[in-house]
Amino acid sequence: MAAMLLGACGSLQVHPLHDPAKTHHRPDGFSNRYADTHTGDGPGFWSWQWQRLTNGLPTQNPDRVPRITPDLTYLNANRSDTTVTWIGHATVLWQVGGLNILTDPHFSERASPVSFAGPRRVTPLPMTLAQLPRIDVVLISHNHYDHLDRSTVHALHQQPGGPPLFLVPLGLDLWLRNEGIGPVQVLDWWDSHAVGPLQISLVPAQHWSSRTPWDRNESLWGGFVVDHNGFKLYYSGDTGYSPDFKDIHARFGGFDFAQIPVGCYEPRWFMQRQHVNEDEAVRIHLDVGSRFSMGVHWGSFRLCDEAVDAPMHGLPAAREAHGVPPEAFVLFSLGETRVLRREPRPSKGLTLR
């Protein structure tokens, strides 16, 4: 009997989605391909909190984050142009192939499991969820609270015209289903799913997952590639810098547009393996062969130790250091929409400086 109980306990420790043939699968969940990441707990986290308390934090200047009035009439009528609109943090509206896609939608005032505490939005949203056109597809990169917001996904599930399709990494579908949210399509790294004229793929990122102290890395994380008849858009998701990006370029051959994080990177000793800074973001832009990139994951929440407007200074310096033209990698104003055109992408020979 004791042996049977021990055997049963051992079997319960194996993650139900574990595939021993895949190197990023582990018996207890998932891992990165090239490096482990700090996972936000343990001595490192408390050292960071003590450092914040004793050293203080830079002055915040949220008023410096640019903001414009969005053209909601155009966005709601558009069925032909390929556009991207920055709503805030990592939430971006993609209009491609006649479909409306939201990346990591977050329309709440806090990035937190509770409404009364946690990181508060420091710049106002340029629009409400109700002002957007009906959303067809939601791409969720991972389950952290600044990327997966419970009230927002419930509102999307209840939107007029019916819920969107939620595309999520392995294991994250369980959380959505427990919330009564669907339909859900789950993907592993390199898996693809067709949605109308679009081919949508999940690709690797160097990060981690957790919503509680007890579910560390039990769901996967990643980025997304959307291919519309050869016109390719890429969202990296949260990530540290790694060889994954050259691997992604090798698979997809470059991108017409890339959405790359540029914020929440200080202190570097704690954040480096899980969040890129502006210099590393430019290296990703080059590694994946992006024709045009926008920086996200900044200007909305106070999550890390750099100033909320730091990328406005850091990105131009990083572009110059790597010889990237100013128009090739930009920061949008909140509410800004840009129309993407088909133009030649950088060649495979593009290298870092």
**pLDDT, tens digit, 9 for 90 and up, residues 19-30:** 989 999 999 999
> What pLDDT sits at residue 59?
72
Looking only at the bridges linking them, the beta strands covering 165-169 and 137-139 are: parallel
Q: φ and ψ at 138, to 5 degrees? A: -120, 130
pTM: predicted TM-score of the whole model, two decimal places: 0.91
**Residue 243 CB neighbour total at 10 angstroms:** 13
Exposure string over 40-78, b if 16+ CB within 10 A, otherwise e: beeeeeeebeeeeeeeeeeeeebeebebeebebeebeeb
Domain membership flag for residue 36 = no
What per-residue confidence (pLDDT) applies to 55? Answer: 73
Is the bond into 325 cis (omega within 30 degrees of 0)?
A: no
Mean of pLDDT values over 14-40: 86
| Degrees to nearest 5, angle at CA 265 with 260 and 266 | 165
Q: Is residue 335 part of a domain?
A: yes
Q: What's the average model confidence in pLDDT over 108-134?
A: 96
Position 6 scores a pLDDT of: 32
pLDDT of res. 45 = 67
Convert the pLDDT of each residue in 292-341 to its tens digit: 999 999 999 999 999 999 999 999 999 999 999 999 999 999 999 999 99
In a domain, 350, yes or no: no
Long-range contact set of residues 46-53: C-beta below 8 Å, sequence gap at least 24: 47/270, 48/267, 48/270, 51/267, 52/305
Judge whether 159 lies within some domain. Answer: yes
pLDDT for the residue 14: 76
Q: What percent of the chain has pLDDT over 90?
A: 81
Query: In this predicted structure, what is the pLDDT of residue 11?
Result: 41
β-strands 184-187, 99-103 pairing: unpaired
Q: Which residue has the higher pLDDT, 264 or 52?
A: 264
CA distances 223 to 142, 237, 255, Å, are 9, 5, 13
Match 């840009």 to its residue by tokens. 338
Q: Does 7 reside within a domain?
A: no
Exposed/middle/buried for 12, CB within 10 Å: 0-12, 13-18, 19+?
exposed
Give the whole-angstrom CA distance, residue 275 versus residue 258.
16
Residue whose C-alpha is closest to residue 234's, from 92, 99, 351 = 92
Q: How confident is the model at residue 17 (pLDDT cuts 50, 70, 90)?
A: confident
Across all residues in the chain, what is the average pLDDT? 91
pLDDT reading at 10 higher than 60: no
CATH number, domain containing residue 96: 3.60.15.10
What stretch of H or E contains 279? helix 278-287
Q: What residues does 337 pair with on adjacent strands?
A: 85
Q: Which residues pair with 255 in a beta bridge?
A: 290
pLDDT of residue 350: 39
**Total number of domains constituting the chain:** 1
Q: Is 329 a domain residue?
A: yes
Question: Of 338, 279, 337, nearest to 87 (Cα)?
Answer: 337
- Token pair, residue 207, equals 């990060």
Whether 1 has a pLDDT exceeding 50, the answer reads no
Can you give the residue range of the structural domain that contains 241?
67-340
Residue 241 has pLDDT above 50, yes or no: yes
